[in-house]
Amino acid sequence: MDGVTLAQAYYALAAFLLLAGWLIVTDAPVLRSFRRSKTATYFLGLVAIAWFGWWLMNIPEADLAGLPRMPVVAGFIGASFLTFIYMPDFLSVRALGVIMLFLARHALDAGYRQLPYSLLDASVSYGVLILFGFWWACSPPVFCRQCDWVLATEGRRKVVGGLSLLLAVACVVQSFRLA
C-alpha cells in the first residue's frame, strides 16, 4: 500500500468503521461467534500473514540490519503459520488486531505532514486502531469482555455503534474534501 493517498486512507478507515458500526448496531451474531470462529481465524490469519510477508519483501535493505531477506521472510512467515497449531485460541481476535495495526500504519503514513487534513486520520488511527489493535492482539479475552459489555444492552450498542458510524461518515466527508 505504498503511495496511498490520504483520501484512500480515509476510505479504508471509513470502510472499517462502517463495518464495525453496522455489526454493533445490528447486534450481528458474528460478533459473538467471531472470537472462536475457524473461518474468521483462517481468513484473518492468512490476510495478516500475507500483508506482513508483503511488507517484509518491500522494506528497505537497511531495515533488515544486513540479514538476507529470504531467510528472514521465511522465518517470520513460518513462525506465523505455526500460530495456527500452537496458539489457535482467539487467533481471529489476534489477527484482527494485527490487521488494525497495519491499517493504522498505512493511514498514518498517508497523512504524515499533511496537517490539518490528517488530524481525523491520526485521531482514528491512534485512538481506535492502534489502541484497540494492540490491546486485542496482546489480550484477546479483553475483546470478548468488551464485546459482551457493548452488546449487553441496546443503549450501549446504539452509542458505540453510532459513534463508529459517525466516525466513518466523518472520514468519508474528509476524503471528499481531499479529492
Say how many C-beta atoms besides its own lie within 10 A of residue 156's C-beta: 13
pLDDT band at 66 (very low <50, low <70, confident <90, very high): confident
Give the mean pLDDT of 123-142: 91
pLDDT at 18: 96
pLDDT at 165: 96
In a domain, 173, yes or no: yes
Q: 174 and 117 in contact (C-beta within 8 Å)?
A: yes
In a domain, 139, yes or no: yes
pLDDT band at 179 (very low <50, low <70, confident <90, very high): low
Residues 111, 107: Cα–Cα separation, whole Å: 6
**What domain range is 21 assigned to?**
6-38+90-178
In a domain, 1, yes or no: no
Q: 121 and 108 in contact (C-beta within 8 Å)?
A: yes
In a domain, 169, yes or no: yes
Transcribe 47-83 into DSSP letters: HHHHHHHHHHHHS-GGGGTT--HHHHHHHHHHHHHHH
- Higher-confidence residue of 31 and 155: namely 155
Q: What's the mean per-residue pLDDT of the chain?
A: 90
pLDDT at 1: 44
> What's the predicted TM-score (pTM) here?
0.87
In a domain, 74, yes or no: no
In a domain, 13, yes or no: yes
pLDDT at 63: 82
Q: How many domains does one find in the chain?
A: 1
pLDDT band at 117 (very low <50, low <70, confident <90, very high): confident
pLDDT at 145: 94
In a domain, 144, yes or no: yes
pLDDT band at 60 (very low <50, low <70, confident <90, very high): confident
In a domain, 163, yes or no: yes
